[in-house]
Chains A and B, each alone.
Chain A
Amino acid sequence: MTSEPRPLVELTVDGTPVWVPEGASLLEACRAAGVGPPTLCYLDGLTPANACRACVVELDGSRPLVASCSRQAEDGMVVTATSERVEHSRRLVLELLASAVDLSTAEPQLRRWLEEYGVAPERYGPPAPAVDGTAERPRPGHHAQPDGEHAATQAQPAKLDNDLYVRDFSKCILCYRCVEACGVDAQHTFAIAVAGRGFDATIATEYDAPLPDSACVFCGNCIAVCPTGALMFKSEHELRAAGEWDEERQTITTTVCPYCGVGCNLELHVQDNEIVKVTSPSDHSVTGGHLCIKGRFGFQHVQALEDGEE
């Protein structure tokens, strides 16, 4: 995009000299050195949320570890991306998340990291029973005393309050991606934000209003950036519930959205001759992965109706 090449800065990562453009992050420097750390909240195209802390590295001169996604590379920096100290924090981040959050539908890469780092979430105790749907979120600054046995989790019923998508916060790792996609990084709708505090913090509309009553415009860009399946097409949610979701049986057809002249690329995920999900490539020059409600959800007209359906 820039007309002139940016000057390079030189630093070392695990002893290997690397050169990255001025303004690049330590994450880019690590990747350039071939030691890409795990990233959960980071997503190309979104402002780094600096929240998951999985991508931490040692930086000479800094007492705590630094999140490589959120730190600019500078000339002469000495970075250690592979060490027992770094691995410990990364493992704990993954293990703590696995102990509190249902990661069963998370991105394959995330689940691979859980294995690679050998997490043992069961050591924190048996998961506490799920709260029922009517339980209020604890007020900030207050929580029930632990029972001396169970590990608190995010388990809670999924929110089904609209026809297009499902919000299951038992799967939410609070990566902030959906908030950013709904807000300044893409949609500028600001329908959701983080509410509550600490372990009880959650993504919410104002007063936890159902999505149709909120500012939500159902663009589905939050689903597109969600790494864990906490936000999901209703079609995918229902197929999974019925045990019929099968990515092996799906084809992906690339096409251009027919609704207006912008020319957004669509990827139609089709299973058994039905569109089950619509995405757009995150590196697409027009969409950056983002769509509007029509491109994302307006595909019913191409599906054959069963006999007797209107």
Chain B
Amino acid sequence: MEVHRLPTPASAEERAAVDALLGPPPAPDAEGGPGRSETGRPQQAREERQLLLPALHAVQDAIGWISAGALGYVCERLRVPPAEAYGVAESYALLSTRERPPRVAHLCDDIVCRNAGADALTAEVARALEGDEGATWEPSPCLGVCERAPTALLQIAAGEDRVLAAAEAPAVLAGLRDEAGGEASEAAASAPQTAEPRADGLRLLSRVGLVDPASLEDYRAHGGYEALRVALERGPRWVIDELNASRLLGRGGAAFPAGRKWADVASAEARPRYIVCNADESEPGTFKDRVLMEHDPFALIEAMTIAGVTTGAEHGYLYIRREYPLATARLEGAIARAEAAGMLGEDVLGSGLRFTVEIRRGAGAYICGEETALFNSIEGYRGEPRNKPPYPTQAGLFGKPTLVNNVETFVNVPSIVLEGGAAFAATGTEGSTGTKLFCLAGSVARPGVYEVPFGATLRELIALAGGVDGGGEPQAVLLGGAAGSFVTVAQLDLPLTFEDARGADVSLGSGAVTVFGESVDLADATRRIAAFFRDESCGQCVPCRIGTVRQEEALHRLAGANGNAGEEIAILGDVARAMTDASICGLGQTAGIAVQSAIDLGLLEREGSTP
């Protein structure tokens, strides 16, 4: 296929940025035209295409935006049609195909940050940046640092992305003007149970705050890589048996039995097989995976390696959202150290088995947390979900059998291997074994990630986080993030298990527990959730693409003078039902749930929220 050449050439800097990733371009042919490495084989086309997003990142990182010349050069190198590459670039919030200042502050205004001073921060930053040609700001959806809200992500061309939390205007402005200042990350501030004296019974958080995330030796001194050794010794069948015995359910939201996925991939006929870790933690109010990756990165790499040697996959992708630069850097360090020590690579722990892990950064798209949209994103296509079936275990990444698990699911695996599935299943309840990480944020005294056995109640969890700000009971709790539902005081004694949640018609989802105190405007929070889905819908299917727009509009009419409450409620109900029933993927299927729960619980009817 001949790639259409764009009229504007890439600048030397743009070429250099792309070449730094892809290597120098092949020598020009005799006619002086662009060189061709090799032609035609589908395998090669695929290999090239999957470098599209990394190449777009390379240009964005170096220049601060992606010009037509730069995109054209990427397309020439990778032989991707420019219209398609443009469509890909134009689907990500953290890539810009329009010229803009090289330094950008993304200021979170999502459900937690907007009640933690985001407005004032934004106003101050906006005022200071007025007329500044070198820097600008943008509102952002949840950046996943809710325990230290408000949060800012600084995206600096030819520099490094950096997160500030709790962000204050002077620090944001200083960060935009020079590159000084590192990112704060103290385990105890994000996972209060790891502060001295440490809480008992921590499993997923067992090493958080104790190990140096940059030290493989430290990780091993705390029991790290023992599970991989055992898994290699006992073999794939044993590992899968233990996983089945543990009754571990996926922690990404769908609660699918992990052992069944592993077994399906291990027994799939097609090759190669792939391991994918979904670290695109973008559910508003959720930050547990970030804390695990920042403070115990080797645990995830070890777990993915166990998955690789167990299912016969030789390559893993770790897809992490770009909003997590510190976690990304620490995982990169962990991979490099594990490779150097023979824990990853051609001969894992001397077993003769090969396994490598490659990090892929997302670029600002909630939809890419949907597993099939995530595959498309890795492959260099727009992050649009695929029709299921076929399921990932049959035809996933590159159409091959793929094991995709969430970070927290993976991190459960080493302890299952070490203590056995039955012992693991002794914690928690019959239907929900083990412990669960919950992200407490909003109106609580000590926000952060908390680990509790399944079965703890919402009330206990809030008490663990120091109770509601200013005492008393919460006005409402949003369980499971924007895709979850509101619950009220009446449900505070709900045991947090998959089965109890299902029985109460709510979902634990991502483990987000966003607490709203008495002073919070819940109608405003509900409108923010609706705006989130309107922004994050990929646009592929009609119910979600237009439904999310109509949902947000109806909520605004309901709040203003133009709405007939009965008619608006009817519209919201009709639209939500069609989105839930007829959308392609989980994003659209859950886009109306929080709003409907707010209506059902009467949360929009409080004084000041409706006429």
Contacts and interface: CB of A to CB of B under 8 A. Distances in A.
Residue of B6, B138, B548, B571 with highest tally of chain A CB at under 10 A? B6
14 contacts: A54-B542, A88-B574, A89-B543, A89-B578, A92-B577, A96-B543, A143-B535, A190-B1, A191-B81, A193-B83, A194-B87, A196-B91, A197-B536, A198-B537
A136 B98 contact: yes
B86 A193 contact: yes
B581 A199 contact: no
Contacts of A88: 574, 577-578, 581
B547 interface: yes
Contact of A149 (B6, B82, B562): B562
Contact of B86 (A65, A152, A204): A204
Interface string B529-547: 0010011111111110111
Given A124-B553, A142-B535, A190-B81, A204 B578 contact: no
A141 B93 contact: yes
A204 B535 contact: no
B512 to A, nearest CB: 20
Interface residues of B, number: 69
Interface string A62-81: 00110100110000000000
Given A52-B541, A100-B546, A64 B83 contact: no
Contact of B583 (A53, A188, A194, A196): A53
Given A89-B581, A92-B575, A96-B543, A197 B81 contact: no
Given A193-B87, A198-B537, A215 B141 contact: no
Contacts of A205: 82-83, 86
Contact of A190 (B84, B92, B539): B84
Given A124-B553, A125-B553, A191-B4, A197 B90 contact: yes
B48 to A, nearest CB: 14
B488 interface: no
Given A64-B581, A71-B389, A140-B364, 14 more contacts: A54-B542, A67-B584, A96-B550, A96-B578, A141-B141, A142-B138, A146-B556, A148-B563, A191-B4, A197-B90, A198-B536, A198-B549, A205-B82, A207-B86
B98 A65 contact: no
Given A194-B539, A198-B537, A215 B4 contact: yes
Contacts of B584: 50-51, 53, 67
B86 A206 contact: yes
B532 to A, nearest CB: 10
Given A92-B575, A148-B557, A51 B540 contact: yes
A140 B548 contact: no
B523 to A, nearest CB: 13
A193 B84 contact: yes
B581 A206 contact: no
Interface in B1-25: 1, 4, 6-7
A206 B84 CA distance: 7
Interface of A: 50-54, 56, 64-65, 67, 70-71, 85, 88-89, 92-93, 96-97, 99-100, 123-125, 136, 139-143, 145-152, 173-174, 183, 188, 190-201, 204-207, 213-215
B519 to A, nearest CB: 23
B535 A193 contact: no
B589 A198 contact: no
Nearest to A175: B542
B303 interface: no
Contacts of B389: 71
A140 B539 CA distance: 11
A128 B174 CA distance: 41
Residue of A70, A125, A196, A206 with highest tally of chain B CB at under 10 A? A206
B91 A151 contact: no
A65 to B, nearest CB: 5
B84 A99 contact: no
A215 B82 contact: yes
A64 B138 contact: no
